[in-house]
């Protein structure tokens, strides 16, 4: 196994950081360079990264998203936004119509660009010995973030990434088991799942016994997907998507 494989296989989200610890400029620049080196659809690089290292802003974000205290103790909180502002300028430059509204493919492509860049950032931060956790919670407070950080039309915050120095005394996270490959990897045809597969994974996670999980895996998603309370579509519309 080489170091890339071990970094990836040892991944676990960490949420307990030593507050006030600063990454060196070289480390942060390396994380950002590697994020930006991810592939992107048509080389469109449909993302912008907001580096939040100002403690006052991190404190405010935590106040808005109390379920994510790691924002406050992180060394940096990176907010990954989909971005089509440069593409709108390209259209303007070539006197073309800019027709992106209600185009689901654009959302898929730009969110994929964001995801690849984010994952590169997380993997590199972990390879440098730092803890990381993604924060989809930013979408719950998207309106406040858009206003606070001046996110313009044709951009939208998709996900945050907290990077910090692990507080070893508080860190209990272990590598979390995934679904068995028989469930989600298909050779030459689509893999399908049965209720028995779901029961098996429920049991695997019950044995794993992560303190922060209070429900069965299936119960968690049955609850989440019961009703759509998301305001994201509405906010995306306001942002021009």
Q: Which of 93, 114, 96, 143 is nearest to 41 (CA)?
A: 114
Q: Is 110 in the site for ligand FMN (CB under 6 A)?
A: no
Cα angle at 74 between 73 and 80, to 5 degrees?
135
Structure token digits, residue 130: 């730092």
Minimum CB distance to ligand FMN, residue 187 (Å):
25
Compute the distance between CA of residue 154 and CA of residue 152 in angstroms, rounded to an integer: 6
Question: For residue 176, what is the DSSP state?
Answer: P
> Which residue(s) pair with 55 in the sheet?
none
Size, binding site for ligand FMN by CB under 6 A = 12
Residue 8 or residue 88: which is nearer to ligand FMN going by CB?
8
Q: φ and ψ at 216, to 5 degrees?
A: -60, 150
Among 23, 135, 142, 166, binds ligand FMN (CB under 6 A): 135
x/- track of binding to ligand FMN for residues 170-209 (CB under 6 A): ------x---------------------------------
Q: Which of 46, 116, 103, 114 is nearest to 236 (CA)?
A: 103
Minimum CB distance to ligand FMN, residue 99 (Å):
28
Q: φ and ψ at 22, to 5 degrees?
A: -110, 135
Contacts of residue 62, Cβ cutoff 8 Å, sequence gap at least 6: 68, 69, 71, 72
Among 44, 69, 91, 137, binds ligand FMN (CB under 6 A): 137
Among 159, 161, 163, 166, binds ligand FMN (CB under 6 A): 159
Residue 91 or residue 127: which is nearer to ligand FMN going by CB?
127
Q: Is 13 in the site for ligand FMN (CB under 6 A)?
A: yes
Q: Is 215 in the site for ligand FMN (CB under 6 A)?
A: no
Near ligand FMN in 29-58, by CB under 6 A: none
Binding residues vs ligand FMN (CB under 6 A):
11-13, 15, 68, 133-137, 159, 176
């Amino acid at each position: 196994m080489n170091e890339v494989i071990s970094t990836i296989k040892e991944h676990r989200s960490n949420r307990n950081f030593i507050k006030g610890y600063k990454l060196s400029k070289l480390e942060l620049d390396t994380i950002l360079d590697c994020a930006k080196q991810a592939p992107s659809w048509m080389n469109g690089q449909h993302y912008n990264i907001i580096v939040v290292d100002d403690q006052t802003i991190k404190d405010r974000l935590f106040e808005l998203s109390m379920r994510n205290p790691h924002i406050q103790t992180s060394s940096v909180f990176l907010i990954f936004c989909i971005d089509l502002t440069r593409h709108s300028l390209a259209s303007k430059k070539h006197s073309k119509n800019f027709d992106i509204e209600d185009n689901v493919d654009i959302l898929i492509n730009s969110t994929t660009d964001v995801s690849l860049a984010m994952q590169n950032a997380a993997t590199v931060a972990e390879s440098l010995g730092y803890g990381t956790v993604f924060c989809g919670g930013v979408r719950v407070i998207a309106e406040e973030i858009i206003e606070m950080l001046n996110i313009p039309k044709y951009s939208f915050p998709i996900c945050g990434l907290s990077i910090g120095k692990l507080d070893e005394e508080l860190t209990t996270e272990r590598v979390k088991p995934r679904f068995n490959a028989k469930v989600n990897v298909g050779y030459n045809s689509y893999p399908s799942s049965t209720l028995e597969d779901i029961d098996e994974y429920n049991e695997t996670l019950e044995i794993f016994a992560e303190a922060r999980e209070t429900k069965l895996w299936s119960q968690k998603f049955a609850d989440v997907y019961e009703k759509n309370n998301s305001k994201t579509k509405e906010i995306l519309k306001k942002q021009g998507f």
